[in-house]
Structure 1
Amino acid sequence: MKSVSYENIVVTRDEGVGTIRLNRPKVLNALSRSLYREVDTAIGELEADDEIKVLVFTGT
């Protein structure tokens, strides 16, 4: 599966755990339309991965 590159988040996979980390420390991870779009895309990407059993959200 092709992994997408993101500007505002970091997505990792490790032993069935998908992690989406908000990565906008200069603006204290403030939400924006581009951040929403990236999170939506990342959730779809992780949802399509049969190895992922748990999704964790975190921030910098």
Structure 2
Amino acid sequence: MARSLRYFSPRRECPFITIDLGSIPESLFESELFGYEKGAFTDARKAKAGRMEVASGGTLFWMK
């Protein structure tokens, strides 16, 4: 349904990012949404954009 609505919106050419909230552990939730910089925690070897940044200008759809 969300993809169908987006198809007819002005944002149809922009990114469509989905997030399954039930599949993200609580400890990783913040870094998945907002990203992180290199060295932010032990295993952060390089910077990673969060899903909110990737979806900027497009659509961020989350499900429970």
TM-score range, shorter chain: 0.3 to 0.5
- The answer to which structure has the higher strand fraction is 1
TM-score w.r.t. the length of structure 1 is: 0.36
TM-score w.r.t. the length of structure 2 is: 0.35
- The answer to which structure has the higher helix fraction is 2
